[in-house]
Amino acid sequence: MQELDFIGVNHNKTSRNYVQRVVDHDKADCATKAKGWGFDYWDGDRQYGYGGMVYDGRWLPIAERIAVHYGLKPGMKVLDVGCGKGFLLYELTQAVPGLEVCGIDVSGYAIENAKEELKPFLKIGSCTTLPWPDDTFDFVLSVNVFHNLYNYELASALTEMERVGKGAKYNCVESYRNESEKANLLYWQLTCETFFTPKEWLWLYRQVGYIGDYGFIYFE
């Protein structure tokens, strides 16, 4: 169990005006629309979410780093919990041809508008009840998802990650290390329900028996 940063470089490339986000728009209304996990969140105006999530190849370097670190090989089975439109999963198949991938996401819109090549391998569902038998996957990952759960859902979701995976796991969430990052997270986030420091996440992992690797995204 170790802390790993695969996506920080990409995350930090985006310029954000945290205060302006709450000045220009009704934050409560934006968050309400975002939590519908539909068009507004994925492809609507920026104040509701991604502002248009289109495939542009930015996930390939991340997929390559993940594949190298975990020694992913053709024929291995990989699950992405909260896969969205499947861009990271697609890039994993490019980094490791022959990889068997599956994804699950609560958003029907995301699955319907996923990378075409991935659609047959994606399911609509909740990370608190994964529809696969024990020890199905060689590698299970989740990127920027679990902070969107309520705290009473986290134990189930983490336990499910452990249950379906017989190999390595990686879970990355939004967090904060100081009051400045906490304020930025509160200003910027639209869907976050669990606001934990890294120490609190690590406490939770130990409590529920999650022994996989982990990472954090900070809003500096």
Ordered by where they begin, the domains of the chain are: 8-44+58-217 (3.40.50.150)
* Residue range 116-141: mean pLDDT, rounded: 96
pLDDT band at 169 (very low <50, low <70, confident <90, very high): very high
pLDDT band at 171 (very low <50, low <70, confident <90, very high): very high
* Residue range 179-187: mean pLDDT, rounded: 93
pLDDT band at 21 (very low <50, low <70, confident <90, very high): confident
- Give the residue among 87, 67, 86 at the shortest CA–CA distance from 76: 67
Per residue, what are the HEC states of 104-135?
EECCHHHHHCCCHHHHHHEEECCCCCCCCCCC
* Residue range 37-42: mean pLDDT, rounded: 95
**Residue 174: which H helix or E strand, with range?**
strand 165-174
Burial degree of 118 (CB within 10 A; 0-12, 13-18, 19+): buried
Which three-class secondary structure state does DSSP give residue 77?
strand
Beta-carbon contacts of 112 under 8 Å, excluding residues fewer than 6 positions away, are none
pLDDT for 13: 65
pLDDT digits (tens, 9 = 90+) for 78-112: 999 999 999 999 999 999 999 999 999 999 999 99
